[in-house]
A and B are shown apart, each in its own frame.
Chain A
Amino acid sequence: MDEERRQRLVKLGSAVAFLAIAAVLVAVVISQSQSEGGDASDVKDVALVSNQLRGIPQKGMVLGDPDARVALVEFGDLQCPACKGYAEGIIPEVIAGPVRRGEAKLDFRNYVILGSESTDAGAGAIAAGEQGRGWNFVELFYRNQGFENSGYVTDDFLTAIARGAGVPDIAQWNADRRSKAVLREVNRTTSQASSLGFTGTPSFAVQGSDGALEPIGTPGSASEIESALSQAG
């Protein structure tokens, strides 16, 4: 009798095993389905980014009034999904608020941690910045980001982002993004982020009129960022 009961329980255990394996498969499918984007033939949100940044001055990788007393510096990796989330959820409020009002400027600096494709992407952003479209490139890249290091950051993809960002001279942009000076700049800001003690992306610092960078980590909301900017200003 006990052995019969045990056999029944072992069968029940087999059903539990089946359910657990099915649950793992569901989790894997959900995890894999999160990896969309990175399609050179279908660049999304071109108009959205264009409208978001329209009328705001850009110079290099700095967005906003060059005379603003305080700057918010983002150390980001263009392949980083958390940075994409930030670019879509929090940065738009900062741009629409203190940056558009001329109270603060926004400075994107590459902090390459995910791999060589991040370096290529970051170089593309800096080269777009040479033509006054750096922030359009950054914002559009984030919105079309693919799965990191999957090979999606190709010349075709970067060119599609540059065109969508409105870079006027693609030939010049291609020459710039492959230059040693641009690569040095990507490496310089990556080293700078490390020296500030950052260990993940995106990480932020505020820069007041004295020019010193004050790390503020990764604030959880636009209001926290505005508060940090007010204190620095």
Chain B
Amino acid sequence: MKLPTEGTLRRIAVFAAAFGIGVATYIAIATAGGDAPACIAGEGGCEKVTDSSHSELLGIDVAVIGVIGYVLLLVAALLRGDGARMAGFGFALFGFGFSVYLTYLELFRIDAVCQWCVASAVSMTVLFAVNTMRMLWYVGRPDG
């Protein structure tokens, strides 16, 4: 099987990170005004999730933490070299782990699902996959 080139992995990471920035920024702006993001399928899932006590960490909106994380992942995807490969992998692993925890909270503690959070979780999963491949296959090798 032919491995995807590092350039392909980086392009996918740039797209996924930009998508994540858009989603997280929208959630952050919507909740900052005291509202919930527009839930396309209705049923109030987004209200329930954004009003939950787990929508903040140390007083900081989780969506804002998401924006910061996606920006770091975007920068790592745009840069070349082993430092960027390592950093991208580290940020993506943290983001993916935290995203799994937030999804657990939605399903089993808050008992509601916000479509925007699902979109962010999918984006973070893609970033974790491509950054892991980039790290395992291309670290220590010439830039692609």
User: CB within 8 Å of B: which residues of A?
Assistant: 2-3, 5-10, 12-13, 16-17, 19-21, 23-24, 27-28, 30-31, 34-35, 77, 80-82, 113-115, 147-150, 198-203, 217-218
Contacts and interface: CB of A to CB of B under 8 A. Distances in A.
Interface of B: 31, 33-36, 38, 44, 46-48, 50-58, 82, 86-87, 89-91, 93-94, 97-98, 101, 105, 109-111, 135-136, 139-141
Nearest to A27: B98
Nearest to A217: B34
Contacts, number: 111
Nearest to B100: A24
Contacts of B31: 200
5 contacts: A20-B97, A113-B47, A115-B48, A200-B36, A203-B34
A13 B98 contact: no
A113 B86 CA distance: 42
B140 A9 contact: yes
Contacts of B46: 199
Given A81-B51, A115-B111, A16 B86 contact: yes
A31 B104 CA distance: 13
A175 to B, nearest CB: 30
Contacts of B90: 16-17, 19-20
A2 B57 contact: no
Contact of A20 (B38, B47, B93, B139): B93
Given A10-B140, A12-B86, A34-B56, 9 more contacts: A10-B136, A21-B93, A24-B94, A27-B57, A200-B35, A200-B47, A200-B50, A203-B34, A217-B35
A110 to B, nearest CB: 14
Sort A-B residue pairs by CB-CB distance and give the 3 closest, nearest first: A218-B34, A6-B140, A24-B97
A125 B101 CA distance: 34
